[in-house]
Structure 1
């Protein structure tokens, strides 16, 4: 029998109920509408998020009366709740874009990226995790976005600090809350760590006492339902966010939801089911971008699905060259691991 008392109860971001308390991370180049639709079909994510949107780029497209970014594909019409993540270092531009997202796209949450460690965002644009060097500017950005977006909640996602010898997150957390953010998501690495090493969940948990009212969402290295359960049992967090692990296991949210309810964890799809899933995913991408561009975009998703499978290297070698739908279907049929391949070794 399922446990009547779940391991982790739902929580609120502003007036938005997040149930279950497991969020899908925004990931540049991956969490577009097609991927979000796949996650929705499996279920189990309490809040989904788009790829991060460059605020200056959005404004430029608006001024040119051009089509809004592909990263907003599907946002206007897809089911809610849905968060859109934006990044830049100019408070006025961020507030302007946040207001457009609320007024025109009716998003559920506007999330601000203070965590991206990629050089193009940090050193070139002085945004993302670079702003951990300027907590006061982080506060000004949040204040102006909150003022522009209310009553839609505004959240912040960041890291422990720029480097291991400059862990500033406890001070930053108080600035984030004081500026009016409705939640803080914390990745348990520094900017210098990129994605190396292990996320420090002890440090994530230590931030909770420095937040008076808003929820703390932990992020980093959650690649199984069991680890999601352990995160809630061992650490002082209100929610968790799953990132890279869901790219090759979009059903992970459904497994985590079951585990948190004390229910049996659903098994992974069979390899044959995964082959059908990849074709379905490709059809969603192709519908938006056409066959040629869709095939190129699908290469990286297909490699994610194959990750950790016997024969993945051979599959990646062939899928990396696809240019048409027929080529994609043939590579999936002939090279994606199957039960027969596994049995044959």
Structure 2
């Protein structure tokens, strides 16, 4: 099947091109999602929301689930370790019409999460994992809200969980699964093992399988589909400071010529638009502070002096941003060195797990203290 003819269906929704923006903590708020959606179609997922924080109506969490009126379908990612809380959170989403699609996070490799048995540690407990997925599906089904599940290859090379996780999610009624083709111990280091995506595609027969990991340019997405047979791709760090990547991905999947990379002046305009959207979502002070982390990504590879870079990294209001933008050479073409990996990479590390976690994969008891009150990771 040629990629230009690919259609991805997740429940009632057609995702064309078959591209999903991965939820990223502190990144994929409504402002960044709007920015990305200007360039290309796809599914754009809100940053991770914890089931407990949602059920308890934590004020920060309730603000995080802001969707633009034009955003369709509204896609929300949930983190949870308890089937009961997961069921309540999904019921609340249904009752209050808070989202149109629910993705479940079982891929987080952060020590504070795995230490308590959450995130990427959880699929090792097959029965508990199945119970959590089943609870979400049961609550979502009457409203026609599709539930999808994202996970990693496993805890480490000795404890691979992805094939079981894929089959269990499929059996419990998930509408698609996504694999970040790294173990939790790899975090974001090394290379994603795309062959695992191919093996998952063979194991899961009736629902779409999406691949995630090391998609930094449009060709990477086409290569992943060609090598693995996956039904779509999930893009995370590749779009940091590069929301126009979604336009390139749309062109690539439709077999159209890729748009030229933006000149520095165009990038400056995108930064300005991002600042406006963040100001609308928060306020000017908080919005500009939030923008700071994006600055190095936006300017990556461009010949911008260190003083100017520092100014962008410390920007605190729109006037300052405009002054800095005025000092850039707007005609500088998009540099080749701006392609390739971006965002955190770090190094591999042993995964911290609860005492005795690996003793019994069939143990369905909820891990103590793993429910998190803070959304966004």
Q: Common fold, TM-score beyond 0.5? A: yes
Counterpart-to-counterpart distance in 2, 1:84 and 1:159: 19
- On the 8 A contact 2:77/2:105 being kept in 1, the answer is yes
Alignment match, 2:24 = 27
Alignment match, 1:308 = 301
Alignment match, 2:74 = 82
Alignment match, 2:221 = 228
Alignment match, 2:203 = 210
Structure 2 vs 1, CA of residues 67 and 119 (structure 1 numbering), >3 Å: closer, same or farther?
Answer: closer
Query: What pairs with 1:1-345 in structure 2 (closer than 5 Å)?
Result: 6-44=3-41, 46-61=42-57, 66=59, 68-74=61-67, 77-123=69-115, 125-150=116-141, 151-311=144-304, 314-334=307-327, 338-339=330-331
Structure 2 vs 1, CA of residues 165 and 7 (structure 1 numbering), >3 Å: closer, same or farther?
Answer: farther
Structure 2 vs 1, CA of residues 302 and 160 (structure 1 numbering), >3 Å: closer, same or farther?
Answer: same
Counterpart-to-counterpart distance in 2, 1:332 and 1:95: 48
Deviation at 1:173, TM superposition (A): 1.2
Q: Name which of structure 1's ranges 261-270 and 140-149 shifts more when overlaid on structure 2.
A: 261-270
Deviation at 1:317, TM superposition (A): 2.1
- On the 8 A contact 1:23/1:241 being kept in 2, the answer is yes
Counterpart-to-counterpart distance in 2, 1:342 and 1:230: 23
Structure 2 vs 1, CA of residues 269 and 340 (structure 1 numbering), >3 Å: closer, same or farther?
Answer: closer
Structure 2 vs 1, CA of residues 205 and 342 (structure 1 numbering), >3 Å: closer, same or farther?
Answer: closer
Aligned residues between the structures: 333
Offset from partner CA, 1:135-190 (integer Å, 9 cap, x none)? 22111000001000112110100000001222221122111111111110000100
SS of corresponding position for 1:264: coil
TM-score (norm 2): 0.83
When the two chains are superposed, the root-mean-square deviation of aligned CA atoms in Å is 2.2
- On the 8 A contact 2:94/2:140 being kept in 1, the answer is yes
Structure 2 vs 1, CA of residues 165 and 78 (structure 1 numbering), >3 Å: closer, same or farther?
Answer: same
Structure 2 stretches of 5 or more lacking a match? 336-377
- On the 8 A contact 2:180/2:211 being kept in 1, the answer is yes
SS of corresponding position for 2:135: helix
- On the 8 A contact 2:251/2:258 being kept in 1, the answer is yes
Offset from partner CA, 1:107-145 (integer Å, 9 cap, x none)? 22111000011123222x532112032122111000001
SS of corresponding position for 1:328: helix
- On the 8 A contact 2:40/2:247 being kept in 1, the answer is yes
Structure 2 vs 1, CA of residues 241 and 318 (structure 1 numbering), >3 Å: closer, same or farther?
Answer: same
- On the 8 A contact 1:48/1:83 being kept in 2, the answer is yes
TM-score (norm 1): 0.90
Alignment match, 2:361 = none
Richer in helix (by share): 1
SS of corresponding position for 1:190: coil
- On the 8 A contact 2:55/2:92 being kept in 1, the answer is no
Counterpart-to-counterpart distance in 1, 2:37 and 2:265: 20
Counterpart-to-counterpart distance in 1, 2:65 and 2:186: 29
Structure 1 stretches of 5 or more lacking a match? none
Structure 2 vs 1, CA of residues 8 and 117 (structure 1 numbering), >3 Å: closer, same or farther?
Answer: farther
Deviation at 1:103, TM superposition (A): 3.1
